[in-house]
Amino acid sequence: APQGEERKGPFGLVREEIDCVTERLRRDIFTEIPALERAAEYFFQARMGPWVFSSHLMLKSAGMNGCWDVAAPFASQAGEGRPAGAEGKRLRSTMLLLMSSALAPAPAGIEFLTVDTSPPSEHPPSVRRRQQRIAEITELIHVASLLHDDVIDSAGTRRGKKSLNAVFGNKVAILAGDFLLARASVSLAALRNPEAIMLMSQSLEHLVAGEILQASKWGCWMAEGFSRMPMSQSLEHLVAAEILQASMECGRLCFLRLTADAEEATSLDHYMRKTYCKTASLMANSCKAVAVLGGHKPTDCHLASEYGRHVGLAFQLVDDIMDFTSSADEMGKPAVNDLRSGLATAPTLYAAEEFPELLPLIQRRFKEEGDVEAAEDMVRRSRGLERARELAAFHAADAAMCIESFSPAGTAHAAEHRAALIEITHKVLNRKK
Ligand code: FPP
Ligand code: MG
Ligand code: MG
């Protein structure tokens, strides 16, 4: 068990439980289809030199079972972090377990610290187990979205390692993502809680919506996605109108306004909407789902959701800032990657308020020779990075305020976990990668 320094901090506080969740996740994704098993496991293994697909067996024999990267990128003291691996920081599940404790007295017994080996389709008996399932489902959805994202972005690397699509190809990467989503759905349905199902499903819808909002024009999207044929402006708008019509008819997707209009690409409001969908919604809805499963008051459930939303917005804003300030090595992907991918994020949108000559570059998605360099230069000469950071700080502070507004803690245990959730807001704001 972690001791001394290791116990401190939000990640240390729930580390053993996260290990259980991680182990359970790994067991959950094994399947009888070997290609998918390999693909899914690839994403969950720790960094240990050359890939060994049966890494769980190796870890077991090395007595390292459950020893996965939890907090390495956030680690403040030497030795706090586990080996940095492809599976990431588990920020989401950490937040969710802290939230579960922040709203309740200490969970009874040690039951919550053992690996839940029941099948994903089985109704978990205790509240804590059910909340752990939300943490697992959230990680599954998150990883699935990254697998699909790397296909959409044609990304060759993820967290400093080769991306799954780069290793196994797009088909396997898409199927692996679908498989994780399918497992998440089974596990979610087994909770037999309509509100939790609704919340988590909504975040799925938002993830896809965020990705669509990010695509500047349906035209490029359609052309890339379906035919690779360039479409004329008028045809593009015709297609756009058709899709808008269809989505209004089906009633559910009508908020997905088309982004063909050039104004939108330069609007901070549009950017924040996209950011909510792409990053904050999953955090908001999963935080609310653990509160709902805990049977807490509607006001506390709402505050949990708002906490997740604000942390998510701050997290993405910091990500967008780091795209300018971190090296390719630190990020595990090329520097100024957003501009290179045609994306204007908060720092660039703020910079355009000072340098209106940036607007046409944003609208043409930095695709002309020299656009990326010119845009980067203007961003650096503007207050864009500073203002984006102020906005991130604002959301981080709002997140902390949500925790302070919860109904009284009641126990020292809950109070300690609340403090950890507040500390997460600082860590998100000050993270370096
Ligand atoms: C990373 O963004 C991508 C996301 C946060 C969401 C991607 C969502 C989809 C692909 C929709 C499909 C969703 C599911 C659940 C299958 P990024 O490309 O800006 O950042 P990164 O690649 O640098 O991490
Ligand atoms: Mg990407
Ligand atoms: Mg992307």
Instruction: Annotate the chain with three-state secondary structure.
Output: CCCHHHHCHHHHHCHHHHHHHHHHHHHHCCCCCHHHHHHHHHHHCCCCCCCCCCHHHHHHHCCCCCCCCCCHHHCCCCCCCCCCCCCCCCHHHHHHHHHHHHCCCCCCCCHHHCCCCCCCCCCCCCHHHHHHHHHHHHHHHHHHHHHHHHHHCCCCEECCEECHHHHHCHHHHHHHHHHHHHHHHHHHHCCCCHHHHHHHHHHHHHHHHHHHHHCCCHHHHHHHHHHCCCCCHHHHHHHHHHHHHHHHHHCCCCCCCCCCCHHHHCCHHHHHHHHHHHHHHHHHHHHHHHHHHCCCCHHHHHHHHHHHHHHHHHHHHHHHHHHHHCCHHHHCCCCCHHHHCCCCCHHHHHHHHHCHHHHHHHHCCCCCCCHHHHHHHHHHHCCHHHHHHHHHHHHHHHHHHHHHCCCCCCCHHHHHHHHHHHHHHHHHHHCCC
Q: What residues are neighbours of ligand 3 (ion), with CB under 5 Å?
A: 149, 153
Note down pLDDT in tens along the chain; length 433 residues.
Answer: 444 444 568 888 898 899 899 888 877 776 666 667 766 666 665 432 222 223 333 333 333 333 233 233 333 332 333 433 334 568 999 999 999 999 998 777 667 788 888 999 999 989 999 999 999 999 999 999 999 999 998 988 887 778 889 988 999 999 989 999 999 999 999 999 999 999 999 999 999 989 888 875 443 333 333 333 333 444 444 455 555 444 444 433 334 444 445 667 778 988 999 999 999 999 999 999 999 999 999 999 999 999 999 999 999 999 999 999 987 777 666 679 899 989 999 999 999 999 999 999 998 999 999 999 999 999 999 999 999 999 999 999 999 999 999 999 989 999 999 999 999 999 999 988 7
Cα(340) to ligand 3 centroid in Å equals 12
Given this model, what pLDDT does residue 28 score?
A: 74
Given this model, what pLDDT does residue 262 score?
A: 62
Given this model, what pLDDT does residue 50 score?
A: 29
Answering whether pTM is above 0.80, one says yes
What interface predicted TM-score (ipTM) does this complex get? 0.98
Distance CA 395, CA 108 (A): 34
Q: State if residue 401 touches ligand 1 by the CB under 6 angstroms criterion.
A: no
Given this model, what pLDDT does residue 47 score?
A: 34
Ligand nearest to the CA of 142: 1
Given this model, what pLDDT does residue 105 score?
A: 83
Ligand nearest to the CA of 337: 1
Given this model, what pLDDT does residue 264 score?
A: 72
Given this model, what pLDDT does residue 83 score?
A: 38
Dig out the tokens for 80 from the structure.
């706090």
Given this model, what pLDDT does residue 70 score?
A: 28
Q: Are 270 and 259 in contact (CB under 8 A)?
A: yes
Distance CA 392, CA 401 (A): 14
Q: State if residue 148 touches ligand 1 by the CB under 6 angstroms criterion.
A: yes
User: Whose Cα sits closest to atom 10 in ligand 1?
Assistant: 149
Atom of ligand 1 at shortest distance to CA of 333?
23
Does residue 342 come out as left (phi exceeding 0), alpha (psi in the -120 to 50 range) or beta? Answer: left
Given this model, what pLDDT does residue 214 score?
A: 80
Cα(151) to ligand 2 centroid in Å equals 8
Given this model, what pLDDT does residue 159 score?
A: 76
Given this model, what pLDDT does residue 145 score?
A: 94
Given this model, what pLDDT does residue 44 score?
A: 65
User: Whose Cα sits closest to atom 13 in ligand 1?
Assistant: 145
197-205 own/partner pairs: CB under 8 Å, 24+ apart: 199/285, 199/286, 199/288, 199/289, 199/292, 200/134, 200/137, 200/138, 200/141, 200/285, 200/286, 200/289, 202/281, 202/285, 203/141, 203/281, 203/282, 203/284, 203/285, 203/286, 204/141, 205/252
Q: What is the CA radius of gyration of the chain?
A: 22
Burial label for 415, CB within 10 Å (0-12, 13-18, 19+), is middle
Cα(213) to ligand 2 centroid in Å equals 14
